[in-house]
Chain A
Amino acid sequence: MSWRRFLRRAQWDRDRAEELRSYLEIETDENIARGMSAAEARRAAHRKLGNIVRIREEIYQMNTIGLVDSLGRATRYALRGMRRRPTFTLAVVLTLALGIGANTAIFAVVYGVVIKPLPYPEADRLVSLRHDAPGLDLTEAIGTSATMYLTYRDEGRVFEQIGLWTNGGQSVTGLGEPEQARTLWVTYGTLQALDVLPLIGRVFTQADDAPDAQGPEPVILSYGYWQRRFGGARSALGRRLTIDERPSEVVGVMRADFRFLNMQPQPDIILPQRLHRSGQVLSAGGFQCVARLKPGVTLADANADIRRMLPIWLSAWPPPTQISRQAIANWKIAPAVRSLKEDVVGNVVTMLWVLMGTIGLVLLIACANVANLMLVRSDGRRQEFAVRTALGAGRGQIVKELLVESVVLGVCGGALGVALAYVGLRLLVEMGPTNLPRLEEISLDPRVFAFAVVASLVSSLVFGSISALKHTATPAGPVSGARGASLSRERQRTRNALVVVQVALALVLLVSSGLMIRTFLALQNVDPGFVTPGNLQTARVWIPPAQIREVDRVTRMQHDILDRIASIPGVASASFASAIPLEGRINANPIFVEGRSYDPGKMPPLQRYKLVAPDYFKTLGARMIAGRDFTWRDIEQGGKVAVVSENVARDLWQEPAAAIGQRIREPGTNPPYVWREIIGVVQDVYEDGFYQQPPPTVYWPTMMERFFGGPGLFGNRAIALVIRSEQAGNESLLGEVRQAVWSINPSLPVFLVRTMKDLYDQSLGTTSFALVMLAIAGAMALSLGIIGIYGVIAYVVSHRAREIGIRLALGAEPAALKRMFVRHGLALSGIGAAAGLVAAVALTRLMSSLLFEISPLDPATYVVVLGILLTAAAVASYVPARRAAAVDPVQTLTME
């Protein structure tokens, strides 16, 4: 086989023709010379040479690449056939386009989020360093502390680079009105571990990190911020900024495509995180840690190295006051190194794979449907095949044509599918869940494209081979095809089987979307500890110490701001706290109860704590279960009071009411202790989203005496305002809130402005995304399944028209006939549903992490889904069955 010959075969053929003609001429000449007449000589020459056409064909065959040639012919034939049957073609191509498009879109998401490496060189060597602390009774792994980092940096053997980072909003002033920029703090090593280079200027060096570094603080700008604030001018390098009233200098600008992990939103400004060695104590968590492993180092090696270093850490640093070294040893800190990608991608992986599987099932259903259509069509072409077989077409020839036709259909469907996927992805990225990591990295990448091609080809072969196999299985004798009445049982069985498969798969998908709907409903029923989140406006305000030093003045200013906001028309109530629910800001510490004795080597369990202003619970809509809320008077009197959540009260005193009057204290104080009296018990609040139990929480007043044993007053400078108003989210309200803040102090930035509903929706982002996608998949599966049932019953009815005619002529009741066909449809769906139930029981377990308070075997879901499916099946069979009953016996019997 040679392409050169293949492509030149026409010219070769002309050459041969001439050669043969030359033979004839020479032979004729010789024959004439032997004394024959011209006509006789020519005839004899032809006889001698043989059949010229056959010779040329033989040579032509030698030159063709048989497969290519016949495939080309079959493709042209298939295209002709498709044009002739536009309805069939449209049905098949659309079904496939939906199936392949949906799969391509979801694969693009899975690829962009889960499979594709992070956008850093040799990203597989990047890890995130976290720790388990079984002794602390935490649900999640904790980060890395400064002392751990310093130990690892000095003693580690497996890290090429290691760095700490943490994020936080900081105010930038000095460029017009006070502005909040998103900042990222990194130690030396963080950007080096990621191996990213700046667009202009430089990244941090080890010298920038030194706690005693002189001069302005070096900062790096993001590309976006540089464009926004400096118009992309190179002169930005060296510019002085005032960040949190500290002088800073721009030393670099990151590239436009730089992304810092999955930080949401991405940082505007990167600052050096300086760690003073002196004064550091043993602690856990506090920072995130990223490292680049040396080549060839595995996660296990990294874990082992950290396990080796933890005892060094424990003995090298002093414990914090009041906590013994033994107590920290009892935290049982252990390494939990995982790949950085796992860290970035997080918990959406399961959801995405569930979706991928689901959508894959939809494609299978689509293939089954198309296979059915193809079977019906090839039945209609039996006569054509029979004639062609009689004329000498091999069975292989016809099978090949059927397969080629399938591939052509599949490719058309795939092409349209890719177009659909493109539109779908645009929509998805535009309105996709904000908590889907790496959303901006999702695109129709060449690999996604390859996936679409493979999906199209594989599905064409799936449905193509079903119809082709069926063709070879039944002998297509020249006579047998003429009459449809004796239609082979075998084909009908295949069609039935395909419908059973469709129904079974549809049931699985319906059950999974049903479970998601139930989950969503269950989530709606949760009392989250706040009401009508759409009417809750939140925003952050920070009063830097450089502006106002005295804590009591800070709190007074915050109080004034609240009063000002409360007087805005339409504001029902307003308050503030150190953190609002679902915001992800977590502070935790143990508490001690007066009158109980504590083992000095063992720490009481950690409790969340928040600093709140009066009316916080009322504004949020959290019910007081016992006692009362804070008042400003409590705060003025030194804040020796506390409110605890119901689960804290139940845990410590069994009864919420019994907690009232008890006295507790935070750690860090020395005798004589400052005890704070519990004055109220408030309902549990789902602080971490709905999939996590509400954490036990202690609420301290926003300003207190001697908090954590510190001298004098302690107050909270960084507050989250909560404002209840029907106007929440409206620009007019926001303007008034800003004005209220600025009328008290014009240099305070107001940032992270959002409604509670935004946070609420975001926390349910993964769930609602999964719900929507599964619902779409379920709806597609159901409609394809219905079409499948309808198709089969309609086909049976049309093929049994004669039989029906005879039955009617012999006096059969039309109603009984109708019942017969509906029974057929229901029987198929029943078998399918039974198989689907078994599959659903096995498969839905995979999605249990997406469910909320619903068992994957939730009986209600199964019953309702079965009901819907069987009803739909009954309707789908009833429509064609009615046509059967309406058959006119005389007409059908005389038709053939």
Chain B
Amino acid sequence: MPQGTLDMLVLRTLVLGPAHGHTIAHAIEHQSEDVLQIEHGSLYPALHRLEDRGWIASFWGTSENNRKAKYYRLTPIGRKQLASQTARWEQVVHAIGRILNPKTEKP
């Protein structure tokens, strides 16, 4: 999976509110309707990278089943990034759609 894609998926997940790594991993897997089967471990370098850029922030908390867990939340910068990346993503999808299926574009 391209790096940028995973980053965006993480940000999208966090729009709904803070979550810890385990939740994020399952959420991504779930949201993509299990199309994206990822090794959950590969999520952590992405989290680290995003945190380092300041798009997300982390804090230690307690999980639903009372385990110590590290939670992530979107920062304002991250929110802005997500918006612009989503827009770009949709443009790309749109463009690919036009190339693959030109006729549907001009009814």
Q: Which residues of A contact B (CB under 8 A)?
A: 5, 15-16, 18-20, 22-23, 25-27, 29-30, 48-52, 54-55, 58-59, 62
Q: Once the chains bind, are A62 and B45 in contact (CB under 8 Å)?
A: yes
The yes or no answer to B42 lying at the interface (CB within 8 A) is yes
The answer to whether residues A22 and B41 also contact, given A5-B52, A62-B52 and a CB cut-off of 8 A, is no
B40 touches A62 (CB 8 A): no
20 A-B residue contacts at CB 8 Å?
A: A16-B44, A19-B21, A19-B44, A19-B70, A22-B69, A22-B70, A23-B20, A26-B20, A26-B63, A27-B40, A29-B67, A30-B65, A49-B39, A49-B40, A50-B41, A52-B41, A55-B41, A59-B44, A59-B48, A62-B49
Q: Please name all residues of chain A whose beta carbon is closer than 8 Å to the beta carbon of B41 when the two chains form the complex.
A: 20, 49-52, 54-55
Q: What separation, in Å, do the CA atoms of A55 and B45 have in the docked complex? A: 7
Tell me, in angstroms, the Cα distance from A26 to B42 when the chains sit together: 17
Closest A residue to B63 by CB, please name it. A26
Is the Cβ of B22 less than 8 Å from the Cβ of A55? no
| Chain A nearest CB, measured from B88 CB (Å) | 24
Is A26 in contact with B52, judged by CB distance below 8 angstroms?
A: no
* Least distance between B78 CB and chain A CB atoms (Å): 18
Q: Interface residues, chain B, CB within 8 Å of chain A?
A: 20-22, 25, 39-42, 44-45, 48-49, 52, 63, 65, 67-70
Task: Provide the bound-state CA to CA distance between A91 and B100, in Å.
Answer: 71
Q: Which residues of B contact A5 (CB under 8 A)?
A: 52
CA gap between A27 and B69 in the complex, in Å: 12
Residues B48 and A16 in contact, CB atoms below 8 Å apart = yes
Partner of B48, one of A22, A30, A52, A62: A62
Q: Which of B20, B39, B48, B65 has the most chain A CB atoms closer than 10 A to its own CB?
A: B48
| B22 lies within 8 A of A26 (CB) | yes
Q: What are the residues of chain A within 8 A of B44 when measuring CB–CB?
A: 16, 19-20, 55, 59
- Min CB–CB distance A652 → chain B (angstroms): 95
Question: Do residues B40 and A50 form an inter-chain contact, with CB atoms below 8 A?
Answer: yes
Q: How far is the CB of A6 from chain B (nearest CB, A)?
A: 12
Chain B nearest CB: distance from A52 CB in Å? 7
Assuming A49-B39, A50-B42, is B63 touching A22 (CB within 8 A)? yes
Give min CB distance, A11 to chain B, whole Å.
Answer: 13
Chain A residue at minimum C-beta to C-beta distance from B68? A22
The closest CB in chain B to the CB of A29 belongs to B65
A707 to B103, CA, bound (A): 123
**B42 CB contacts on chain A under 8 angstroms:** 50, 55
Q: Considering only CB atoms, which chain B residue lies closest to A2 in the complex?
A: B52
Q: Which of A16, A22, A29 has the most CB of B within 10 A?
A: A22
Shortest Cβ distance from B29 into A: residue: A48
Contacts A29-B67, A48-B40, A62-B52 given; indicate if A23 touches B22 (C-beta within 8 A). Answer: yes
Find out whether the CB atom of A22 lies under 8 angstroms from the CB atom of B45.
no
**Residues of A contacting B49 with CB < 8 Å?**
62
Residues on the B chain within 8 Å of A54, using CB: 41
Instruction: Point out the residues of chain A lying under 8 angstroms from B22, CB to CB.
Output: 22-23, 26-27
Q: Which residues of B are found within 8 Å of A26, using beta-carbon distances?
A: 20, 22, 63, 65, 67, 69
A15 CA to B44 CA in the complex, in Å?
Answer: 12
Sample of 9 further A-B pairs with CB below 8 A, known A27-B22, A49-B40, A62-B52? A19-B70, A22-B70, A23-B25, A23-B40, A23-B69, A26-B20, A26-B22, A29-B67, A55-B42
